[in-house]
Structure 1
């Protein structure tokens, strides 16, 4: 297969919820931590050094992804870049776990149960009641949504199904048209896209880690099938970053 297109994925930098060991996800509009801002800037520098430039960028409506993209634009000096924000690229919804301490939740339910909620493909965490103050259906940017489509919890499978229309309807047509596309999103929405593109099994996707702040370049053929993919980082940097993600997920 011959590569015809290039797509770049970037998981946002560390959030203050991750720093504080709290469940975040779809319903928490967490900001970047100081480290997360540095990770975003370094990601932009890596893209600049690799000679990458873009015609359009896609991100979620969550602050940590939007800010990461902004800091990348700072490094690339491309604030003119058209940006499309869509809730379909949001992080997975962790239901009633969102905002809770990961350590305390593991003590309450047991580490094994919490690991199942976090790392299985089709098991949902406990749902969030729509009367709960943490339900995001009454706040911007979801206030005008049909309340039936706003999740109260999601498995990774749910996240993939929610994310794919954005790929099929909006992003893929731009890639096929030859546009240089950057997607800045979240661990699970990006894992979902990788599952689809690489046709990973339900078991294989569980083992896939996408580290924070390391640009992932995917070269695609004319039918948008991956030819190869690689991080703009040394093997050691990728290994260390993936280990950090793995450690967090084991606690989650």
Structure 2
């Protein structure tokens, strides 16, 4: 129902309160659409069954690019966020976040301080990072 509509067009057609509820709720899907909760079931299942498995098998580097709710879902899993935390998570378009997979767990090594602040991250065994994860 919302395919092809941007935020403003959705608000114009369905009202700003309804559009905001669809965009920022965890478990309320738009009609014939998917909530963040439904997206998380799909995205995290793929992540654990494919990405995490490859990392555990020794693959060193994997880059993930996806739309906002898929990335929020994966962040929720990696950072152990609860539903109320993930709905307010703002992700920057095209700005990387860096996680290290070590001893079967994910360690966040960097993310932008704000969605509009681009930062380049590099990782070395001796580097210490001042950027914090959630």
Query: What TM-score range do you get, normalising by the shorter chain?
Result: 0.7 to 0.9
Residue 56 of structure 2 is aligned to residue 176 of structure 1: yes
Separation of aligned partners in 2, 1:240 and 1:185: 18
Point out which structure has higher relative CO (alpha carbons under 8 A, 6+ apart).
1
Q: TM-score, normalised by structure 1?
A: 0.43
Residue 22 of structure 2 is aligned to residue 117 of structure 1: yes
Match of 1:203 in 2: 84
Residue 125 of structure 2 is aligned to residue 220 of structure 1: no
Q: TM-score, normalised by structure 2?
A: 0.76
Separation of aligned partners in 1, 2:88 and 2:6: 24
Match of 1:193 in 2: 74
**CA offsets 1:50-106 (integer angstroms, 9 cap, x no match):** xxxxxxxxxxxxxxxxxxxxxxxxxxxxxxxxxxxxxxxxxxxxxx01113532331
Structure 1: runs of 5+ lacking an equivalent = 1-95, 128-152, 243-252
Structure 2: runs of 5+ lacking an equivalent = 119-134
Separation of aligned partners in 2, 1:173 and 1:209: 27
**Counterpart among 28, 34, 40 of residue 160 in structure 1:** 40
Post-superposition shift, 1:212?
0.8
Separation of aligned partners in 2, 1:227 and 1:164: 17
Match of 2:129 in 1: none
Separation of aligned partners in 1, 2:5 and 2:107: 40
| Equivalent residue pairs, number | 117
Match of 1:98 in 2: 3
- 1:98–1:239: structure 2 CA closer, same or farther, 3 Å change rule? closer
Separation of aligned partners in 1, 2:22 and 2:35: 8
Match of 1:66 in 2: none
Larger radius of gyration: 1
Kept in 1: contact 2:10–2:19 (CA 8 A): yes
RMSD: 2.0
Separation of aligned partners in 2, 1:101 and 1:227: 34
Report the structure, 1 or 2, having the larger helix content. 1
Post-superposition shift, 1:198?
1.3
